[in-house]
Structure 1
Amino acid sequence: MYNGGKIITGLIIFVLLISAPFLLNVGQANELPEISLDTPAINQLSEKQCVESVEFMRSQHPQLLNDWRDQVVREGESIYVSSSGERYEMSLDNNCLQCHSNQSQFCDACHTYTSVELYCWDCHGGGIAK
Structure 2
Amino acid sequence: MPRQMYDKGKIVAGLVIFVIIATFPFWYNIGKAAPAPELKLTDKAKAEKECVMSVTDMKAGHMQLLDEWRDEVVRSANRLYVNSKGKSFNMSLSNTCLDCHSNKADFCDKCHDYASVRPYCWDCHIDNPKATEEAKE
How does the TM-score come out when normalised to structure 2? 0.75
Other-structure match for 1:22: 26
CA, structure 1 residues 123+14, in 2 after alignment: closer, same or farther (shift >3 Å)? farther
Count of residue correspondences: 125
Q: Could you tell me how far 1:29 is from its partner in structure 2?
A: 4.9
SS at match of 1:77: coil
Structure with greater helix share of residues: 2
After superposition, the C-alpha distances for 1:3-40 in whole angstroms (9 at most, x for unaligned) are: 43542343134213321221221342542211111x25
Distance in 2 between the 1:9 and 1:49 partners?
59
- 1:41 alignment partner AA: K
**Dislocated runs of 4+, deviation >4 Å:** none
C-alpha distance in 2 between matches for 1:60 and 1:66: 10
* Cα pair distance change 1:27/1:85, threshold 3 Å: closer
Q: Who is 1:12 aligned against?
A: 16
Q: Per the alignment, in what secondary structure is the counterpart of residue 88 of structure 1?
A: strand
Map of 1:74 onto structure 2: 75
> Structure 2, unaligned stretches of length 5 or more?
129-137
Superposed counterparts of 1:57-68, under 5 Å: 57-68=58-69
Q: Distance in 1 between matches of 2:18 and 2:70?
A: 46
- Which deviates more from structure 2 when the two are superposed, residues 16-25 or residues 90-99? 16-25
In 2, the alpha carbon distance for the partners of 1:60 and 1:27 equals: 26
Superposed, which structure 2 residues align to 1:1-130 within 5 Å? 1=4, 3-4=7-8, 6-37=10-41, 39-42=42-45, 45=47, 47-125=48-126, 127-128=127-128
Long gaps (5+) in structure 1? none
The percent identity for this pair of structures is 51
One-letter identity of the residue aligned with 2:8 = G
Larger mean CA deviation between 15-24 and 1-10 belongs to 1-10
When the two chains are superposed, the root-mean-square deviation of aligned CA atoms in Å is: 2.4
- Who wins on radius of gyration, i.e. which is larger? 2
Deviations 1:29-53 (A, max 9, x none): 542211111x25335x3x3221122
